[in-house]
Structure 1
Amino acid sequence: MKKGVLLVNLGTPETPTAAAVRTYLSRFLADRRVIDLPRPLWLPILYGMILPMRPPRSAALYRKIWTKQGSPLLLYTQTQARQLQALLRESIVRYAMCYSEPTVTTALQEMQADGVTDLTVIPQYPQYSTTTVGSVFDQVAAYFGQTATSPQLHFVSSFYQEPSYIHALANQIKRALKQQPAGHLVFSYHGIPQRYADQGDPYPQQCEQTTKRVMALVGDVPYTQSYQSKFGPGQWLQPATAQVMRTLPQQGVKQVIVITPGFVADCLETLQEIDHENRGYFMQSGGSEFTYLHPFNGSPTFTRLLATIAVGQA
């Protein structure tokens, strides 16, 4: 038996240019898991309005967070895979992206060529949502639906309940509170449309459980849970992080510590939206101190968590 582990994250433009962003968004926003509107209604909007107009603006934002080595999300994912390979020497570890290179199909082809017969797929989303983990499942199932053979497959649908994940978040917060004892905690999760939750997506409940489990270890500290990254005109999960940042100073909260437990690596939604835009909302509304706690990124603690998950699937 030859074991393999595949880490899968969302994806990123190859470069911070309008053309590359357009390619990325065309894959991302055409996914039925991400946008569940009827295709005759959605595709004209996507190709007639969004893709012609949004990429230049998004590319400008990507340029603000881009590093000399490239996309932060890609770099941290590569680091996570490399560190995990060092821990799981008997396994073949690869990474893939849902909407950019290397694709899930490419990674699975390579693992089959390497003779992997026992495969664990770990979507890099602690909480399950049909819009994220569901899409990874679709792509893995579609690939093996067209092959003559398939490995023994283990699919990790979530890991928010893993004690080491909860402890890692709690320890990060405790360290921050030593530096900023008066801090009000804000747990900001990526949002989803409310209608998805109404249809049974367990994502909001898993986010709430994550926050409660972390706070059980942190202790009696004031906190707020919110949702970010709203896209489109429909109702999304509430409260919105941007609105929370504008209203907290009016309630006497001048210091905040912001953590994003749904992200395992920095990306546009954390570096630009949280650490720049929402920092601005908070400070302009009367806040005095805004502390952003980065995701796990290249932390060995997170890599050990991934190893624990992978070994536990065997």
Structure 2
Amino acid sequence: MRGVLLVNLGTPKAPTTQAVRQFLNAFLSDRRVIQMPPWLWQPLLKGCILPFRGPHSAKMYQQVWTKQGSPLLTITQAQTAQLQALLPNMRVRYAMSYSAPTITTALDEMASAGVNTLTVIPLYPQYSTTTTASIHDAVHRYYSRQHNSPTLHLYSAWWDTPAYLDALSANITHQLAGQAYDHVLFSYHGIPQSYQDQGDPYYAQCVATTAAVCARLALTVPHSISFQSKFGPAKWLTPATKDNLRALAAAGKRRVAIVTPSFVADCLETLYEIGIENTAAFKAAGGETLLRLRPLNTDPAFIQALAALCTAY
């Protein structure tokens, strides 16, 4: 039997301080995410960051939480169900790196079901050591403890697959139809500059993604790239999205469309950081409208692009 495992970052169980602290503790304890030595980092995490960031982040989650729960979780569940419908002869499941269902739980289920060929798709189109590599670590760690392993197909990056680029471009075109805008900003999740300096290809893949999409869109207005979601005092990829938006407003750009290609599902970073926080910053700087374009979410063309990845082997 063939299996497919979609993996995303994860989400708190609830928009509460305790649940957010538990999620952040798991996320920020990953050495792929924070490369600082544990003996130095863990006291800072437990003693300074979690006590203060937990309540602050919980308030943000409360503003985007839905009746169904975490947007990231419910969208990932829907993506999985749609992909399963397209691939009835495969066992399609999802997992989260830092929340339930865990990668270990999902792989246990695959083993119990007799899956002997497994495709793992990190739900990150662009590769980074902070995201995709962590998933690869978890999968290899799991099978290093097993007496049997399926034939594994682990995707590293799939930003350059035509089906994904076509789906993303069509999604943008559909949302921009009939809208007035004078600039398109491509905002990607940031990573520390030091990671790029060490060889992480993420930045180059973000630039290439933007170029490929713009070629398909044939944009008639200017566009630019920025990076969001900075954490901690270290230098991250620049320009920062909020700084870029303020600069655009100061330059007279009144209606900016913002695209988030590194996110395939709405989450805190798209709904709150872009939709609320950065929108307010743009307007405070003189901007009129920040048109937040939804990620691919459950777009049928995107699910078809995922199916193409699953059947490529």
Normalising by the residue count of structure 1, what TM-score does the alignment of the two structures yield?
0.98
Measure how far apart 1:298 and its partner are. 1.6
Distance 2:47 2:250 in 1: 41
Instruction: Look up the equivalent residue of 2:272 and give its one-letter code.
Output: Q
Distance 2:63 2:250 in 1: 30
1:80 correspondence with 2:83: no
Q: Which residue in the other structure is 1:252 paired with? A: 252
1:229 correspondence with 2:233: no
Number of aligned residue pairs: give it.
Answer: 312
1:204 correspondence with 2:240: no
Measure how far apart 1:51 and its partner are. 1.4
Instruction: Look up the equivalent residue of 2:194 and give its one-letter code.
Output: R
Cα deviation, 1:84-127, whole Å, max 9, x if unaligned, reads 11010110000000000000000000000000000000000000
Considering only aligned residues, what root-mean-square deviation do their CA atoms show, in Å? 0.9
Instruction: Look up the equivalent residue of 1:252 and give its one-letter code.
Output: G
Distance 1:33 1:18 in 2: 24
Deviates more, 1:136-145 or 1:36-45: 36-45
Q: Which residue in the other structure is 1:148 paired with? A: 147
Measure how far apart 1:40 and its partner are. 1.6
Q: Which residue in the other structure is 2:39 paired with? A: 40
Distance 1:223 1:168 in 2: 19
Distance 1:176 1:75 in 2: 22
Deviates more, 1:204-213 or 1:47-56: 47-56
CA 1:52/1:177 → structure 2, altered by over 3 Å: closer, same or farther? closer
Determine helix, strand or coil for the equivalent of 1:99.
Answer: coil
Q: Is the 8 A contact 2:250 2:285 kept in 1?
A: yes
Distance 1:177 1:54 in 2: 35
Normalising by the residue count of structure 2, what TM-score does the alignment of the two structures yield?
0.98
Measure how far apart 1:277 and its partner are. 0.6
Instruction: Look up the equivalent residue of 1:127 and give its one-letter code.
Output: Q
Q: Is the 8 A contact 1:17 1:59 kept in 2?
A: yes
Q: Is the 8 A contact 1:34 1:131 kept in 2?
A: yes
Determine helix, strand or coil for the equivalent of 1:248.
Answer: helix
1:118 correspondence with 2:117: yes
For structure 2, the residue ranges without an aligned partner over 5 or more in a row are none
Instruction: Look up the equivalent residue of 1:279 and give its one-letter code.
Output: T
User: How is 1:256-295 mapped onto 2 (pairs within 5 angstroms)?
Assistant: 256-295=256-295
Sequence identity (%): 53
Measure how far apart 1:178 and its partner are. 3.0
Q: Which residue in the other structure is 1:192 paired with? A: 191
Measure how far apart 1:181 and its partner are. 4.2
Measure how far apart 1:288 and its partner are. 1.3
Q: Is the 8 A contact 1:11 1:101 kept in 2?
A: yes
Determine helix, strand or coil for the equivalent of 1:112.
Answer: helix
Deviates more, 1:171-180 or 1:144-153: 171-180
Q: Is the 8 A contact 2:171 2:296 kept in 1?
A: no
Instruction: Look up the equivalent residue of 2:25 and give its one-letter code.
Output: S
Measure how far apart 1:11 and its partner are. 0.2
Distance 1:288 1:172 in 2: 23
For structure 1, the residue ranges without an aligned partner over 5 or more in a row are none
Distance 2:234 2:240 in 1: 13
Deviates more, 1:173-182 or 1:243-252: 173-182
Q: Is the 8 A contact 1:176 1:257 kept in 2?
A: no
Distance 2:142 2:38 in 1: 23
Cα deviation, 1:242-273, whole Å, max 9, x if unaligned, reads 10111101111111000100000000000000
Deviates more, 1:220-229 or 1:201-210: 220-229
Q: Which residue in the other structure is 1:297 paired with? A: 297
Distance 1:174 1:303 in 2: 18
Q: Is the 8 A contact 1:258 1:293 kept in 2?
A: yes
Instruction: Look up the equivalent residue of 2:195 and give its one-letter code.
Output: Y
Instruction: Look up the equivalent residue of 1:240 and give its one-letter code.
Output: A
Distance 1:20 1:182 in 2: 39
Measure how far apart 1:180 and its partner are. 2.3
